[in-house]
Structure 1
């Protein structure tokens, strides 16, 4: 709504002109001290009146606040544009094939959000990504918003693109072609030439039968990993294998338990230097980001139940 006689704009019309979410503008004006919440409505403060704010009455809408059109040039208003925030609903503009629930579930799986009895809440990692949690004063629901530039964040872009493309993404390899160890080289895998015939090793009954497999069907590389995989399955914890960490580097953990935000690494004996380097970097990143992390050494294979039970109890309390 606008008043053509004196070029005044309602707060909602001002938000539309600024291309800002209405709720964000109301919250920002409140933070500036220009408006205040009173009797389930918004009221002007003395500061707001000094900025030209006034009331206007309408038979249809009742009493509402209007602002001079010149307010759009105010430094504090223009500063909002450089600090725009976005919600999962707004992210659908960039990922039209994903629903709000899908985006929220993905953020929760990454550890940016956590599921509580009150719904989704921001985690410490989510705060590192710039998340902000507020309560909608009209309905009391929690609102979580993100810096607008999160849509360009390499980790978020990677994860949401994976969802949008049904998991069909190129993996990264090092120069030796070993998947999952690309963090040391940063070389992206190139899609194969469809018109070039290449020799591929043929699977044999011997190689197929030699592969270890957990109760849940996860392929594992060792008895140590098998024990961990089966423990998680039997404890009814959904878990991922070789899950990438929420960083740009191609770092993975042997297991990830999203319900606990827990990354688990199985430290085998006599691993190649490249694998050891990656595991040390994974440990370092988990500590830097304060991610829940557990190392299980080959010598601990008979203590897996104790180690996992204790760590799960710590994270569940």
Structure 2
């Protein structure tokens, strides 16, 4: 990493230079965090982004863009997002510690790399991630659900605050119990959820596209 910029506000290019990644990657991470979203010809800050230091700007041609408080360079959520995508050993160690509490995470480690840089746990999840990526749908993998309980989703689409769960081991009694608990929590907090199973994976393009459209997410 380079030394932090001395300016009080910085743009995606400066953030990228600091972390030695492209501005495109920076905006991808920020959108996965739900801090920015695509606007007319540029990026628009969400309320969550504003809380994390975003300042909405407009270019002379009317296109929106965002500058950030330089404190974003030490923001723990952004740091984790970047480290996770780069396969950082600290993040992997932290995840392994969490996984020790979850038999399924231990049994199915996230070691399959997707085209957009996520590491997933199964071929089905790889297909889901690839579908979202190819259709230009910004998404995050295994994001913590914003509830009091400690629960992680399979995929999260920040633009519509939609979560995706792939139920791949329904014949397993422990997994079925875990699935039931998660479904109850999604229902308890009235969270938008897309559920997929093995039958959906066999016809993923049609099934997932249909489910996404129900949440006003455009496909293709």
- The TM-score with structure 2 as length reference comes to 0.55
Residue in 2 aligned with 1:148? 70
Residue in 2 aligned with 1:52? none
Take 2:134 and 2:17, find their aligned partners in 1: how far apart are those partners? 36
Residue in 1 aligned with 2:154? 254
CA, structure 1 residues 273+152, in 2 after alignment: closer, same or farther (shift >3 Å)?
Answer: farther
Matched, 1:173 2:72: no
CA, structure 1 residues 168+125, in 2 after alignment: closer, same or farther (shift >3 Å)?
Answer: same
Take 2:103 and 2:68, find their aligned partners in 1: how far apart are those partners? 30
Larger radius of gyration: 1
Take 1:153 and 1:220, find their aligned partners in 2: how far apart are those partners? 30
Matched, 1:86 2:6: no
Matched, 1:266 2:186: no
CA contact (8 A) 1:173 1:180 kept: no
CA contact (8 A) 2:139 2:157 kept: no
Deviations along 1:68-126, one digit per CA (max 9) or x if unpaired, are xxxxxxxxxxxxxxxx443223424642x123232122212333222244122223442
Matched, 1:233 2:98: no
Matched, 1:220 2:122: yes
CA, structure 1 residues 153+175, in 2 after alignment: closer, same or farther (shift >3 Å)?
Answer: closer
Take 2:145 and 2:79, find their aligned partners in 1: how far apart are those partners? 11
SS at match of 2:193: strand
CA contact (8 A) 2:32 2:139 kept: no
- Which structure has greater strand proportion? 1
RMSD across aligned positions (CA): 5.1
Take 2:10 and 2:36, find their aligned partners in 1: how far apart are those partners? 15
Matched, 1:108 2:22: no
Structure 2: which 5+ residue stretches go unaligned? 1-5, 106-111
- The TM-score with structure 1 as length reference comes to 0.42
CA, structure 1 residues 135+161, in 2 after alignment: closer, same or farther (shift >3 Å)?
Answer: same
Take 1:113 and 1:264, find their aligned partners in 2: how far apart are those partners? 20
CA contact (8 A) 1:263 1:294 kept: yes
CA contact (8 A) 1:239 1:256 kept: no
Take 2:140 and 2:174, find their aligned partners in 1: how far apart are those partners? 16
Residue in 1 aligned with 2:213? 312
Bigger relative CO (Cα 8 Å, ≥ 6 apart):
2
CA, structure 1 residues 237+176, in 2 after alignment: closer, same or farther (shift >3 Å)?
Answer: closer
Deviations along 1:136-164, one digit per CA (max 9) or x if unpaired, are 4x55442312333222221101112345x
Take 1:107 and 1:130, find their aligned partners in 2: how far apart are those partners? 12
CA, structure 1 residues 297+111, in 2 after alignment: closer, same or farther (shift >3 Å)?
Answer: same
